[in-house]
Amino acid sequence: MNMSQLPESSKSIWMSTAAVPPFAPLLEHVVADVCVIGAGIAGLTSAYLLAKEGKSVVVIDAIGVGAGETGRTTAHFMPPDDRYFEIETGFGADSAKLVAESFQAATDLVEAIVRNEQIDCEFERLDGYLFSPDGKDRETIEKEYAAAGKARVRVGMVEQVPGLSFDTGPAIRFQNQAQFHPLKYLAGLAASIVRKGGRIYGQTRALSIKGDDRQKIVHTGAAEIKAGAVIVATNTPFNDSTVMHTKQAGYMSYVIGIQVPKGSVPRILLWDTGDPYYYVRLETLDPQAQHEILVVGGVDHKVGQDEHPEHRYDELETWVRERYPMAAQVEYRWCGIVMEPADGVAFLGRNPADDKNVYIITGDSGTGMTHCTAGAMLVTDLINGRSNPWSALYAPSRKPFHGLSEFVKEQVNVMAQYGDWLSGGEVDSVTEIKPGDGAIMRAGTTKLAVYRDAQGELAVLSAVCTHLGCIVGWNSAEKTWDCPCHASRFNVNGAVIHGPAVKPLAAAELPK
């Protein structure tokens, strides 16, 4: 298992090429101005900005710095996943301008932090291109070009993405986007936070947040953190059992890193308008080497709703080889969760429950580098009593009115998952489970999640998700139990890998 508690086989390129320092667990009660829960890009950027303004900050992470989706991203800084024309239709032209402004400001902030804190994380500015699969959807490209221009984004139109040998058809050029090595950035941020007096703890899971508007108490099991404000930066909030989970859904996105000869592929960001869509960047791991790594992601599906997703890596590889014939061997394969907001805009700000001093950063879709950085800027303003021009747009309390059809579709999908309680098991006997595989088995009125390791030993757990009781599903590619309802994930020993669950799957016994 690597630091994210997933098998070594699903390590990202970033996890394989950066050393992120471990932090000791919190074992005593502490007091701070702000407690930040989660040490991904959202949590560490918030902690950094607050520490810079003189706040005392405590950061806790259930696993460690970068152990979540920031360690599994592809780290393009690019325009929102939902198109500017969709944001304009749903929220109005002024809001589309605000989204563009927040994305620009977030990218500029990351660049400034990298410069000021001298973080060696390969940050570079480069252009990004949006095209339609096989060049067939000129209408969408033209609509988006017009809406992005109206939102004051620096765009140009090209008839073909330059430097590529396959036909992209017309594409929008988004100037001055960016990319970096996300874990080197987080390691640098963590060091800066500590230099500014911030305290960071690993292996410390927040189990609950209690208290009042004056002071909150975060309980971790071993300790309590008393703080004037709490930021829940856990990718999906664990502190709210239902409201936010009806407004967003977790999708699993797959990535491969494949060798290409140095200089054979242009240094650009590339993504298409397909559904699901593909996204591409280039990574130079070693400037002296003769090859670079083309990082290609896509073929998403709802978390917990594909038990044998290995074929998705094959689909990615086929897609790459058809377009980049110079591609050699696949070096990396990994996947991770993208939280998709029903209306396409992230949830950044005050927690919708009547919690004046609890803030959340979530729903950042495939643009978490910018959304999470903008979220950190926004909550830092709110905690410091300043107004922020983006706060109404990103307010987590907003109704998902603008994405109503998406919202209804997701709720119907979640309700359908509860039907799993009534169905039989995937196997009738543990003898049907091969070494290295897992399966769901019926046991009277409940269900068991049974895994057999390479040595033949069985790990038997309750299959009932500890969040809101859906039946988890096996993920044979990652060897995890994934919940099809709200994207909780557990490893084969039941430990939580992704929330909103906070408690492990319960140990269970096979029926006699």
Contacting residues toward ligand FES, per CB under 6 A = 465, 467-470, 483, 485-488, 500-501
Smallest distance from the beta carbon of 451 to ligand FES, in angstroms?
18
DSSP annotation of 213 reads S
Q: 260 or 495: whose CB is closer to ligand FES?
A: 495
Contact 319, 274 (CB under 8 A): no
Beta-sheet strands, E only, within 273-317: 279-283, 291-302
Residue found under tokens 């780290």: 75
Q: How far apart are CA 195 and CA 174, in angstroms?
A: 36
Nearer to ligand FES, 54 or 469 (CB): 469
CB atoms within 10 A of CB 156: 13
Angstrom distance (rounded) from CA 118 to CA 131 = 35
Strands 473-475 and 76-77: unpaired
Residue 507 is classified by DSSP as B
Q: Which does 470 bind (CB under 5 to 8 A by kind): ligand FAD, ligand FES, none?
A: ligand FES
The set of residues, in sequence order, having a beta carbon less than 8 Å from that of 207 and lying 6+ positions away, is 219, 220, 221, 502, 503
Q: Cβ closer to ligand FAD: 168 or 234?
A: 234
Which of ligand FES, ligand FAD, none does 151 bind, CB closer than 5 to 8 A by kind? none
The site partner of 38 among ligand FES, ligand FAD, none (C-beta below 5 to 8 Å per kind) is: ligand FAD
Shortest distance (Å) from residue 339 CB to ligand FAD: 7
CA atoms within 13 A on the CB side of 237: 31
We find the least distance from the C-beta atom of residue 465 to ligand FES, in angstroms, to be 3
253 binds, among ligand FAD, ligand FES, none (CB under 5 to 8 A by kind): ligand FAD
Shortest distance in whole angstroms from residue 246 CB to ligand FES: 11
Please, what is the minimum distance in Å from the beta carbon of residue 200 to ligand FAD?
Answer: 11
**Would you say 22 or 469 has its CB closer to ligand FES?**
469
Least distance between ligand FES and beta carbon 505 (Å): 10
**Contacts of 81 by beta carbon, 8 Å cutoff, 6+ apart:** 340, 344, 365, 366, 367
Query: Where is 193: in which H helix or E strand?
Result: helix 182-195
Question: Given the complex with ligand FAD, which of 72 and 452 has the nearer CB atom?
Answer: 72
**Residue whose C-beta lies closest to ligand FAD:** 368
Alpha-carbon distance 132 to 155, whole Å? 16
d(CA 25, CA 14) in angstroms, rounded, equals 24
Strands (E), 303-443: 330-341, 347-350, 358-362, 437-443
Return the one option of ligand FES, ligand FAD, none that residue 236 interacts with (CB less than 5 to 8 A, by type). Answer: none
- Our CB check for ligand FAD shows the closer of 266 and 436 to be 266
Helix axes 84-91, 138-150, angle to 10 degrees: 60
Name which of ligand FAD, ligand FES, none residue 235 binds, using a CB cut-off of 5 to 8 Å depending on partner kind: ligand FAD
205 binds, among ligand FAD, ligand FES, none (CB under 5 to 8 A by kind): ligand FAD
- Residue 255 touches which member of ligand FAD, ligand FES, none, C-beta under 5-8 Å by kind: ligand FAD
List of residues contacting ligand FAD (CB under 6 A): 37-43, 60-63, 67-70, 72-76, 205-206, 233-235, 238, 253, 255, 297, 336-338, 361, 364, 366-370, 372, 499, 502
Nearer to ligand FES, 346 or 465 (CB): 465
Helix axes 84-91, 93-116, angle to 10 degrees: 130
Q: CB 389: neighbour CB atoms within 10 A?
A: 12
For the bound state, the minimum distance from the C-beta of residue 84 to ligand FAD, rounded and expressed in Å, comes to: 16
Cβ neighbours around 495 below 10 Å, total:
16
Name the residue nearer to ligand FAD (CB basis): 336 or 352. 336
What CA–CA distance (Å, rounded) separates 76 from 156?
A: 19
Structure tokens at 366: 């495939």
Q: CA angle 191-16-276, nearest 5°? A: 105
Shortest Cβ 418–ligand FES spacing (Å): 9
Q: Which does 467 bind (CB under 5 to 8 A by kind): ligand FAD, ligand FES, none?
A: ligand FES
Q: Which is nearer to ligand FAD, 374 or 492 (CB)?
A: 374
- Find which of ligand FES, ligand FAD, none residue 486 binds, CB within 5 to 8 Å per kind: ligand FES
Binding partner of 351, given ligand FES, ligand FAD, none, CB within 5-8 angstroms per partner class: none
**Nearest to ligand FES of 328, 416 (CB atom):** 416
Question: 309-341: b or e for each residue (b if 16 or more CB lie within 10 Å)?
Answer: beebbebbbebbeebbeebeebbbbbbbbbbbb
The smaller minimum CB distance to ligand FAD, of residues 346 and 450, is found at 346
